[in-house]
Amino acid sequence: MIFSILVSVFVVSTIGAVLAAVLCASEYFFRSYGPCEITVNNERKLNVEGGSNLLSVLTEQKIFIPSACGGRGTCGLCKLKIQEGAGPLLPTEEPFLTAEEKNSNIRLSCQVKVRNNLKIEIPPELFAIREYVCKCTEITDLTYDMKQFRFELIEPKTMGYIPGQYVQLLTPVYKKGIEEVYRAYSISSDPADKNAIELIIRLVPGGICTTYCFEYLKVGDTVKVNGPYGQFRLSDTNAPIIFIAGGSGMAPIKCMLHHMKNTSNKRPATYYFGGNTVKDLCLLDLMRSFEKDIPNFKFVPVVARPAEGETWNGQTGLVTEAVKRNVKNASECEAYLCGSPGMIDAAIKILLELGMSIKQIFYDKFE
């Protein structure tokens, strides 16, 4: 009896061990791709270890490609032209690429695995993107679910960015079972303030990065960001501006308004700021002071449904309805939108109905 138990235990564990050994050996054989060479723009050569995706390999080499989702293949921002060596197009990339892009070898760098030598093209402006070590110096509550974080730049000490651009915040491993992730946030601070940046972050229940910012990040902590990224910026024209943003979408608009104040910009501008209830609104005092300091600026907060017991004398309804009521000269204006995809799509629809052309609408979608 004892003998047969011992034999069976021995046999089962031996078979398990043999199979595990075979798997380890094949893992070593199949998963290692050896050193690979990446040729960037036909001039720079990078020697890297194959096996991981191109986006993370480039990040290790301090070349930062814009990515809002942190390499999960959901934002479609990390597009690069890969001239040679990328292998066939993957089903995960297809939804993000137009037929034209597919023909010119544009790929999502987070989905392409480095398996052999690659030849890639990186737009030169991306080399200006750097990694910044910063210290959190201030955390301000804006609303019940939004906070403003101030980060002082330590190394390098200044960041040159265009108002409207965003940075990626690296979330460290703050508890077990979580990987390092990057999340994109627009810069909301005054561009004149060269040694610090501010980000407005709204709590996403269960979100890896926002949970870190709201529950773990403390004043005095050191974090890493990289950037600046993005094409969302004010144009050089004199067309009247319509800003539309809700919630943390205020961030890039706030930065643009600081810039308009600093340069005494006389362009007529109206900012429609939407919230569900009165307690979703924030920074109203700052906006009122902008109304005084920026020559032709008007701030219109809109509350969708004031909660019971809240007093609200301003405009009510959806922010898009307020735009429809108030804007008469849409075809002459330019619109700058920032917020959730739903809000942006609704705003674009209304603006087109009002006679604005799609070329006059600029937006920054939070995916």
Q: Which residues bind other proteins (CB under 8 A)?
A: 4, 7-8, 11-12, 15-16, 19-20, 22-23, 26-27, 30-31, 87-92, 113
Q: Which two tokens stand for residue 68?
A: 């809002």
What is the smallest separation between the CB atom of 73 and other proteins, expressed in angstroms?
10
Residue 28 vs 144, nearer CB to other proteins:
28
Report how far residue 198's alpha carbon sits from residue 218's, in angstroms, rounded to the nearest whole number.
Answer: 15
Region of residue 173 (left: phi > 0; alpha: psi -120 to 50; beta: else): beta
What is the smallest separation between the CB atom of 34 and other proteins, expressed in angstroms?
13
Residue 34 vs 205, nearer CB to other proteins:
34
What is the smallest separation between the CB atom of 77 and other proteins, expressed in angstroms?
20
Tell whether omega for the bond before 156 is within 30 degrees of 0, i.e. cis.
yes
* Closest of 200, 223, 225, 195 to residue 210, by C-alpha: 200
What is the smallest separation between the CB atom of 91 and other proteins, expressed in angstroms?
5
Residue 88 vs 342, nearer CB to other proteins:
88
Strand partners, 364: 338
Residue 219 CB neighbour total at 10 angstroms = 11
DSSP assignment string, 278-327? GGG---HHHHHHHHHHSTTEEEEEEESSPPTT----SEES-HHHHHHHH-
What is the smallest separation between the CB atom of 89 and other proteins, expressed in angstroms?
8
Q: 3-state class of 183 per DSSP?
A: strand
What is the smallest separation between the CB atom of 116 and other proteins, expressed in angstroms?
12
Residue 13 vs 42, nearer CB to other proteins:
13
Residue 88 vs 124, nearer CB to other proteins:
88
What is the smallest separation between the CB atom of 11 and other proteins, expressed in angstroms?
6
What is the smallest separation between the CB atom of 8 and other proteins, expressed in angstroms?
5
What is the smallest separation between the CB atom of 321 and other proteins, expressed in angstroms?
32
Residue 55 vs 184, nearer CB to other proteins:
55
Tell whether omega for the bond before 172 is within 30 degrees of 0, i.e. cis.
no
* Closest of 206, 208, 207 to residue 179, by C-alpha: 208
Residue 72 vs 157, nearer CB to other proteins:
72
Residue 25 vs 307, nearer CB to other proteins:
25
Residue 145 CB neighbour total at 10 angstroms = 17
CB 241 within 8 A of CB 336: yes
Q: For residue 172, give the DSSP letter.
A: P
Within the chain, residue ranges assigned H as helices are 2-31, 54-60, 99-103, 208-211, 250-262, 284-293, 319-326, 341-353
Q: How are strands ordered across the β-sheet holding 146-155? A: 181-186, 166-171, 222-229, 130-143, 146-155, 196-202
Residue 88 vs 206, nearer CB to other proteins:
88
DSSP assignment string, 103-141? HTTEEETTT-B--S-EEEE--GGGGG-EEEEEEEEEEEE
